[in-house]
DNA sequence: GATCCTTGCAAATTATTTTCGTGATAAGTT
DNA sequence: AACTTATCACGAAAATAATTTGCAAGGATC
């Protein structure tokens, strides 16, 4: 699919010369993407044909195809390999954070289970009542975001970040209701309890969480969001951005499953347009 | 800087042949990025030299440089030109949203005022007390995010989304304090009032908002976040993602301005490691 | 010792760029 | 209005550069 994944997989099987080429890609990417095959060959101390063969090996048609592929994925793929910013210089820090965020989106997109999302969207669109559960700074934000997005389509929805409240809501929920729970860690046992309780009465439970986690196992429908973890505890923003995007996708698909949604949205839009005398229109963005 | 911006700017000045080349880029981008100069020339019904001249015109060294640039920016730049998803198919919707989000990050990165952010970071790092203000679904999230990030460095910080409370806090603030206010629209007049009030007592005010907006004009330091607006009211997620990234950058730079931050973070880390018997470590991610 | 893999050399092929010249258009001149 | 001149766009062909292929040598492995 993308060169960097292939490179990770093939790494062990590469010959010495090919390894030297790979090293240049990883270390001096800017050079690699701008160099001609001759320049690259010289720097890697190999012959041009070896470079061509290397390109074929990582799944490209030709050297120029390789460069295009490289340039295409590099923008988002690089940080995957270089986890720390080069320096404390504001420019480097900014670039590091931006690229990490874009990378998170990239990885999310690649690992997205569209069938699960579509299934979840259909259930949500038909639900008589929706509960959005999430606790902790990150997941509670996701829960309110869900509420924020879904009420606009005329759906009945409430968000809760309180475990006790979640349990009570889950206990009172009916089979026509849907619970959407978010857990970055997948280890929110309180959420698991709510899910288990709700499923006894036939409530549909949807989880936004790590695949195969405790929370995932407790839910009817799982929208898995698996991002490279590691340092993520100290840098949670990129993970959160991925979750936000996932909610955005889910909400958009819900809208397509609701015939009236277009009408409701149009009404909101007209109201906004009618209102916008003093550019008030923008105020609703805050 | 990137081809698509240049193309937008140069569009009017292009000759008929060059316009045909540009059209192919915009309509059949996949072809363009994979084609040789001859194939591209044939499709545009021009001669290869014309293609070379076109590449130079849009700021590239050569045709191959052009293709690399194209491939590089295309990943994020395409949605700029094609604002709607191709279909309602989940895959297309997902791709549309992801690309829009990445595009927002891309544009943020390009328009970032690093000097302002660095200046803001220094002020925040030295402040005796920090107030994070923001109202409405979007900006209030940014305010709590700021609190969430800054308290970890041992800073004194509180977030408020309540206009009345903001006014009172602003009135009581001292010259050693800092107010950070967020307004997506830049037209939050209540926030302007708080800023104005606070500045009377020499409080440093920092705004995350649109450049040249009302809020921007009322603040000491402006971290401008200007994204192509248009449909953004109905698709606020990508703008929010950009704001989140901006906060992330700001917070990281604050950390570098605080000598003890590393110590505090290390202590948190050690606590986490000590705690992680049952992989509890991950729980804090929620 | 046979086989397979890796690699570089040189030739062949292909792609790209430069040079140069033609024709068109626009502006200025008589 | 007709002519001249300048400027520009564009393509043909030549020149150059880059890339690929075929082949053979060297080295590792069985």
The rounded mean pLDDT for chain A is: 81
Residue B224: closest CA among B124, B134, B110:
B110
Query: Which tens digit of pLDDT belongs to each residue from A37-47?
Result: 888 888 888 88
d(CA A70, CA A3): 7
List of residues 6+ apart from B15 with CB closer than 8 A: none
Q: What is the pLDDT of residue B231?
A: 44
Residue B227 C-alpha from the chain's centroid: 8
| Torsion angles phi and psi, residue B107, rounded to 5 | -65, -40
B286–A185: do the CB atoms touch at under 8 Å? yes
CATH, residue A10: 1.10.10.10
Q: Decide if A94 is inside a domain.
A: no
**In this predicted model, which residue has the larger pLDDT, A193 or A33?**
A193
Q: Which of B57, B79, B101 is the last residue of a domain?
A: B79
Q: Decide if B101 is inside a domain.
A: no
d(CA B158, CA B245): 20
What sign for the dihedral angle of Cα B258, B259, B264, B269? positive
d(CA A77, CA B104): 17
A72–B72: do the CB atoms touch at under 8 Å? yes
CATH, residue A264: 3.40.50.10490
Chain B residues with CB under 8 Å of A65 CB are 34
Query: Which tens digit of pLDDT belongs to each residue from B189-213?
Result: 999 999 999 999 999 999 999 999 9
Q: What is the pLDDT of residue A196?
A: 96
Residues A136-152: b if buried by 16+ CB within 10 A, e if exposed: bbbbbbbbbbbbbbbeb
Residue B265: closest CA among B126, B154, B130:
B154
Q: Are residues A141 and A194 in the same domain?
A: yes
- Considering only A95-109, A135-149, A253-267, which range has the smallest mean pLDDT? A253-267
Q: Decide if B106 is inside a domain.
A: no
Q: Decide if B148 is inside a domain.
A: yes
Residues A216-248: b if buried by 16+ CB within 10 A, e if exposed: bebbbbbbbbebeeeebbebbbbbbbbbbbbbb
Q: What is the pLDDT of residue A275?
A: 47
What sign for the dihedral angle of Cα B21, B24, B29, B33? negative
* Residue A191 lies in domain: 110-269
For residue B122, what is the nearest residue in chain A, using CA coordinates?
A: A90
A114–B237: do the CB atoms touch at under 8 Å? no
Query: Which tens digit of pLDDT belongs to each residue from A59-84?
Result: 888 888 888 888 877 655 554 445 55
Q: Are residues A61 and A147 in the same domain?
A: no
Q: What is the pLDDT of residue A280?
A: 43
Q: Are residues B122 and B53 in the same domain?
A: no
Residue B67: closest CA among B30, B93, B109, B121:
B30
Q: Decide if B197 is inside a domain.
A: yes
Q: Are residues B139 and B48 in the same domain?
A: no
A286, B136 contact by CB (below 8 A): yes
Q: Decide if B44 is inside a domain.
A: yes
B241 vs A73, A232, A241: nearest CB: A241
Q: Are residues A119 and A183 in the same domain?
A: yes
Q: Are residues B123 and B256 in the same domain?
A: yes
Residue B21 (CA) to nucleotide D11 (C1'), in angstroms, measures 16
Which ranges of chain B have pLDDT less than 70? Answer: 1-2, 74-87, 228-236, 261-262, 264-286
Q: Decide if B10 is inside a domain.
A: yes
Q: Are residues B144 and B254 in the same domain?
A: yes
Q: Are residues B124 and B232 in the same domain?
A: yes
| Torsion angles phi and psi, residue A158, rounded to 5 | -135, 145
Q: Decide if A143 is inside a domain.
A: yes
| Torsion angles phi and psi, residue A262, rounded to 5 | -60, -40
Confidence of residue A86 (pLDDT cuts 50, 70, 90): low
Q: Are residues A121 and A252 in the same domain?
A: yes
Q: What is the interface size between A and B, counted as CB pairs within 8 Å?
A: 208
Q: What is the pLDDT of residue B277?
A: 40
Q: What is the pLDDT of residue B90?
A: 84
Q: Are residues A122 and A221 in the same domain?
A: yes
Q: Are residues B47 and B130 in the same domain?
A: no
Q: Are residues A119 and A243 in the same domain?
A: yes
Number of domains in chain B: 2
d(CA A204, CA A198): 8
């Amino acid at each position: 699919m993308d060169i960097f994944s292939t490179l990770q997989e093939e790494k062990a099987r590469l010959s010495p010369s090919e390894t030297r080429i790979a090293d240049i890609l990883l270390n001096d990417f800017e050079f690699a993407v701008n160099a001609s095959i001759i320049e690259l060959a010289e720097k890697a101390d190999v012959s041009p044909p070896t470079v061509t063969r290397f390109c074929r090996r990582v799944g490209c048609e030709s050297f120029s195809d390789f460069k295009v592929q490289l340039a295409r994925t590099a923008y988002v793929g690089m940080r995957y390999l270089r986890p720390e910013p080069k320096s404390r210089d504001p420019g480097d820090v900014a670039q590091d954070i931006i690229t990490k965020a874009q990378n998170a989106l990239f990885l999310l997109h690649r690992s997205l289970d569209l069938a699960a999302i579509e299934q979840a969207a259909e259930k949500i669109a038909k639900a008589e009542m929706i509960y959005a559960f999430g606790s902790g700074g990150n997941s509670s934000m996701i829960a309110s975001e869900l509420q924020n997005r879904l009420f606009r389509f005329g759906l009945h929805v409430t968000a809760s970040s309180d475990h006790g409240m979640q349990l009570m809501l889950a206990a009172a929920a009916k089979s026509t209701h849907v619970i959407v729970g978010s857990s970055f860690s997948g280890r929110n046992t309180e959420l698991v309890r709510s899910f288990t309780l709700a499923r006894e009465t036939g409530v549909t439970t949807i989880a936004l969480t790590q695949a195969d986690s405790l929370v995932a196992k407790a839910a009817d429908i799982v929208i898995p969001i698996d991002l490279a973890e590691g340092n993520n505890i100290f840098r949670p923003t990129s993970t959160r951005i991925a979750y936000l995007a996932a909610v955005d996708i889910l909400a958009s698909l819900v809208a397509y499953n609701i015939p009236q949604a277009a009408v409701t949205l149009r009404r909101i839009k007209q109201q906004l347009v009618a209102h916008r005398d003093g550019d008030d229109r923008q105020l609703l963005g805050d």
